[in-house]
Amino acid sequence: MKIGDTIQLKALGSATKRTKNRIHNRGKSGFIVRKLPQSVRFTNPKGVDWIMLDAIDNDWSGWLPVDEIEVVA
């Protein structure tokens, strides 16, 4: 995976409701990778890397934790 790649995601069964909702509501057409997985300084980053994405078919842009997602295409 590289910056600028278009990807399709699936939320893992153990994913939070937030991650599942973002993928379901914002990612029907996929996402564009804006920043590769990296550590972040959020209030509760859970000790895992996060990836920054832009939704293709709407104006959502944000971070998802890599331990809650699977790249399927």
Instruction: Note whether residue 25 is domain-resident.
Output: yes
Tell me, yes or no, whether 1 lies in a domain: no
What percentage of the chain exceeds 90 in pLDDT? 90
Residue 12 included in any domain: yes
> How many domains is the chain built from?
1
Range of the domain at 39: 6-71
38 in any annotated domain:
yes
pLDDT score recorded for residue 45: 81
Could you tell me if residue 39 is inside a domain? Answer: yes
Q: Is the pLDDT of residue 27 over 90?
A: yes
Q: How confident is the model at residue 52 (pLDDT cuts 50, 70, 90)?
A: very high
- Residue 43: pLDDT band by 50, 70, 90 thresholds? confident
Q: What is the dihedral of CA 45, 40, 34, 29, to 10 degrees?
A: 0
The pLDDT assigned to 69 comes to 98
Query: CB–CB of 34/26 below 8 Å?
Result: no
Residue 32 resides in a domain: yes
Provide long-range contacts, Cβ within 8 A and 24+ apart, for 55-59.
55/26, 55/27, 55/29, 55/30, 55/31, 56/6, 56/27, 56/29, 56/30, 56/31, 56/32, 57/28, 57/29, 58/26
Rounded to two decimals, the pTM is: 0.92
